[in-house]
Amino acid sequence: MVFQATTSAPVNIACIKYWGKRDTTLILPTNSSLSVTLDQDHLRSTTSSRADPSFTSDRLWLNAKEEIIKDGGRMSTCIKEMKRLRKQLVEDTDPNAPKLSTYHVHIASYNNFPTAAGLASSASGFAALVSSLAALYSLPCPPTTLSLIARQGSGSACRSLQGGFVAWEQGSQPTGLDSHAVQIAPESHWPTLHALICVVNDAKKGTSSTSGMQRTVETSPLLQHRIKNVVPQRMVDISKAILDKDFDAFARITMADSNQFHAVALDTTPPIFYMNDVSRAIIAVVEEYNRVWVEKTGKVKAAYTFDAGPNAVIYTEGENVKEIIEIIVRFFPQQETFKDPFGLFANDGGLKEGGKLIDGFNEAVAKTWELGSVKGLIHTKIGDGPRVLGEEETLLNAEGLPK
Ligand code: DP6
């Protein structure tokens, strides 16, 4: 009998940013956060897990390369916690259940997006790890319970166990048992929400989120103001904006929170810069686009947000994506013709440079950047939580090694 399972899990991009831990071992945050889950049809981590009495240790391969599972490290904690849940919830209650918690596991994981693109893979990666072990172990657990474990792999991973709009409630207990993710609304609530990721060329290796946020906790007075006086109200306001499908409110809060996150990075000693000149030019272009629409309708139509790197994610409603891509390509010509997965430019064979601006747009807000400054565009939309895949999708061969 082979005990194995394969699942895939999505990427999430925060609108209210997690930045700072009050407990670095349990990964308990200094503030709540909220994200949008992106569609796995475009970006995903896929993970296969197998438990077998013949295995001599727990082993894990990421994109076919073996990673060392360090004792007491994040991966080892997640695997240990999942085995504990298997024993407690399945084996201790059903004497006939195979004792999978006593077997070692082999785990193979694969990201369908290049790590070199600079897209964070730890959220989807740990969510896929936890969901594949949950499937392997037949755990009768809701995603919120599993989020307690994914959180200990990487904080933001706890928000990738559900689709749609997901809040990570910071909690107050020292055990972390109330620091979990809850779904604010499923993807079906607002299916017209799209995301455009602008992959920005980045020569240098930036400060990791893990070390960067701890330096901010230790040195930034602005962070204290943010966690006490800003984030709590924003969590309330953005949840309401989402439930009302009020894009204008959603976008304004998202942009303000991205900017405050980068402000607390700058307020860190020594300061941390995640955005570069290209990132700032994208902000200028989106702000100008919104200015035109506010003049016409009183409402903004696009929201930028940046994580711990220079890439931009632009949220907008599906009906605006085409004109936004045109504008982005106008200022950031593409090395390779952009072919839209939704067929937006199917008639004209794609878009490479010189996209159209909208009426009233002030061209002087940015220069035309050199080819490849934005080295790729990924157009995707809001999506669902982890999926259990069929046997034929397994990443492990008959011996339990990566294929
Ligand atoms: C800027 O979840 O990568 O993307 O918990 O140390 O693994 P660790 O950090 P991580 O931090 C993500 C920070 C962020 C904001 C966010 O996703 O909320």
9 & 128 share domain:
yes
78 & 206 share domain:
no
Kind and range of the H or E run holding 132: helix 122-136
Closest of 178, 198, 231, 162 to residue 19, by C-alpha: 231
401 within a domain of the structure (yes/no) = no
344 within a domain of the structure (yes/no) = yes
179 & 274 share domain:
no
Name the CA dihedral angle for 94, 127, 256, 234, rounded to a multiple of 10 degrees: 0
- For 133-146, the pLDDT digits (tens) are 999 999 999 999 99
For residue 18, the ligand 1 atom closest to its alpha carbon is 18
Q: Is 385 exposed, middle or buried (0-12, 13-18, 19+ CB in 10 A)?
A: buried
pLDDT beneath 50: ranges in the chain: none
Strand order in the sheet with 374-381: 302-306, 312-317, 193-200, 374-381
100 & 241 share domain:
no
Q: What is the CATH number of the domain that holds 124?
A: 3.30.230.10
Name the CA dihedral angle for 247, 257, 152, 89, rounded to a multiple of 10 degrees: -30
403 within a domain of the structure (yes/no) = no
352 & 243 share domain:
yes
What pLDDT is attached to residue 116? 58
101 & 11 share domain:
yes
- Rounded to 5 degrees, φ, ψ at 147 are -65, -25
pTM attached to this predicted model: 0.97
399 within a domain of the structure (yes/no) = no
Distance CA 386, CA 7 (A): 7
Q: Which residue ranges have their beta carbon within 6 Å of ligand 1?
A: 14, 17-19, 27, 33, 120, 122, 154-156, 209-210, 307-308
What residues make up the domain containing 105?
3-188+388-393
What pLDDT is attached to residue 354? 85
Choose one of 13, 17, 18 to mutate for the ligand 1 pocket test, by most ligand atoms within 8 angstroms of C-beta. Answer: 18
148 & 278 share domain:
no
Q: Whose CA is nearest to atom 5 of ligand 1?
A: 155
Distance CA 154, CA 167 (A): 15
344 & 254 share domain:
yes
For residue 17, the ligand 1 atom closest to its alpha carbon is 18
- For 2-53, the pLDDT digits (tens) are 999 999 999 999 999 999 999 999 999 999 999 999 999 999 999 999 999 9
For residue 13, the ligand 1 atom closest to its alpha carbon is 17
Q: Whose CA is nearest to atom 4 of ligand 1?
A: 307
The number of angstroms, rounded, from the C-alpha of 8 to the middle of its chain's C-alpha atoms is: 14
What pLDDT is attached to residue 115? 66
Number of domains observed in the structure of the chain: 2
Q: What is the CATH number of the domain that holds 287?
A: 3.30.70.890
For residue 155, the ligand 1 atom closest to its alpha carbon is 5
242 & 324 share domain:
yes
